Amino acid sequence: MKPLFLAMALSLAAILPAAAQTPAAPTVKVDSAWARATPGGARTAAIYLRITAKGAGDRLVGCSTPVAEKAQVHSETMANGVMEMRPVAALAVTPGTPTVLKPGGYHIMLIGLKQPLKAGDSFPLTLDFASAGKQQVSVRVEKPGAMGMEGMPGMKGMEGMPGMGH
């Protein structure tokens, strides 16, 4: 009986460390990341995307990309007829309701572009979540003036609905 118990204990000990090192599935899903093409000499641009929390909520606490010197989450609001953009330290991601970064609302501001963004290109963006950690996504560059609805699954034709763009 002792040899059988010892063999089972050793087998279990060999399996547990491997299971503990298996990475957990991401708790947030990021999709539909896009930016508008910029003219030559532009120093700023914005990225829009959708974040969906799976299970518990999370917070977007940072971001970076090799195409700009700095990337920040910003809010865009109207105050006394003036458009105001402000950096946001963290953006809550609530389970059950996608967090949509869109023109006229929250977005990721790129400051110090290293080269113009050209329609049809794509570039990497790393998002840093408080719980889910770092996630890299690909940002596609759309034509100047794009609103992005045509690229978001299930969103085409919803441009006129409240909260769905300008």
Q: Mean pLDDT over residues 4-13, rounded?
A: 48
Q: What is the pLDDT of residues 107-157, one digit of tens each?
A: 999 999 999 999 999 999 999 999 999 999 999 999 998 876 444 444 443
Asked whether the CA dihedral 21, 26, 31, 36 is positive or negative, the reply is: negative
Average pLDDT of the chain?
81
What's the rounded Cα separation, in Å, for the pair 101 and 165?
Answer: 10
| pLDDT, tens digit (0-9, with 9 covering 90-100), for 73-97 | 999 888 888 888 899 999 999 998 9
pTM beyond cutoff 0.95: no
Q: What is the pLDDT of residues 51-65, one digit of tens each?
A: 999 888 999 999 999
**66 DSSP 8-state letter:** T
Q: pLDDT confidence of 164, banded at 50, 70, 90?
A: very low
Q: What pLDDT digit, counting tens, does each position of 131-143 carry?
A: 999 999 999 999 9
Could you tell me how far CA 34 lies from the centroid of its own chain? Answer: 10
Contact 157, 83 (CB under 8 A): no
Q: Measure the CA dihedral 37/78/157/72, to 10°.
A: 40
Which is nearest to 98 in space by CA: 51, 131, 132, 135? 51
Per-residue confidence (pLDDT) for residue 153, from 0 to 100 = 42
**Please, which pLDDT band fits residue 160 given cuts at 50, 70 and 90?**
very low
* DSSP calls for 79-120: ETTEEEEEE-S-EEE-BTS-EEE-TTS-EEEEEEESS---TT
Residue 165: pLDDT over 80:
no
What lies within 8 Å, CB to CB, of 25 at 6+ separation is: 54
| DSSP result, 121-165 | -EEEEEEEETTTEEEEEEEEEEPTT--SGGGSTT-TT-TTSTTS-
